[in-house]
Homo-oligomer: A and B are copies of this chain.
Amino acid sequence: MTKAELVESIKQKQSFLCIGLDTDVTKIPQHLLSEEDPVFEFNKQIIDATHDLCVSYKPNIAFYETEGVNGWISLEKTINYINENYPNLFTIADAKRGDIGNTSKMYAKAFLEKMNFDSITVAPYMGEDSVTPFLEYKNKWVILLALTSNKGAFDFQTLTTENKKLYQQVLETSKKWGDSNNMMYVVGATKAEMLSDIRKIIPDSFLLVPGVGAQGGSLQDVAKYGMNKECGLLVNSSRGIIYAANDKSFAEKAREEAVKLQIEMKILLEMYLS
């Protein structure tokens, strides 16, 4: 997917919502457990109930990998289902991979080619040659970890390195590897006030913002400090939507939660983009 297509989708849907498919088999409604593939069945119903309210889906790969071969099958079915039925949705493999060039190439092939995700989250610690193999795919995206939403973000990401915080250095340095047409950044909603400074370094890039809801970040603050003239935001919500109810109404309740966020997003888009 190109940047223009993503921006168009945001404008049409009046939404910059990304729904995190962090599907944990121990947390889904009981009645699904008799299905052949409960995790896929859960995802399918969530997707069918919410696809018009969001612009992106983001399966966190750990939740599938922890189920071994079966998890991998559920993941492949899920991405295929989205690509076949809702090809305009921007798909994110939240995998946080990154290894030496030779190896990153293998991960890139797995997620961007074989499974045909639009993008993958990548950890920056190993530097340029760990990231660039993912950038070799046309109209695919790297979403680089910059400032994450967790407590541990303050262990290294905010250390001062040669007059800049490490995460700022990651933003600066990575601008040499790609641009706002093939690279986005993860910036946690829990650090919304830092978004203004981040925008000075990467004014045009999309930001993937986790941490709204369960992790406590505010959507208004994210929009206030982080939105640019093309919106430039994908705000993720996982648990708050997909686990809104734990019975047969789960998909309907997930839709209700997604509607609430979409309405809030519509207002924020009107406020900042008009």
Contacts and interface: CB of A to CB of B under 8 A. Distances in A.
A107 B152 contact: no
A273 interface: no
A195 to B, nearest CB: 19
Interface string A136-161: 00000000010011111111110111
A158 B127 CA distance: 11
A130 B159 contact: no
Contact of A128 (B101, B126, B152): B152
Number of copies: 2
Contacts of A131: 152
Contact of A162 (B65, B67, B127, B160): B160
Tier of interface size on chain A: 35 or more
Residue among A126, A170, A215 with most chain B CB within 10 A: A126
Interface of A: 22, 24, 60, 62-63, 65-69, 72-73, 76, 94, 96-101, 103-104, 106-107, 109-110, 114-115, 123-131, 145, 148-157, 159-162, 166, 169-170, 173, 215
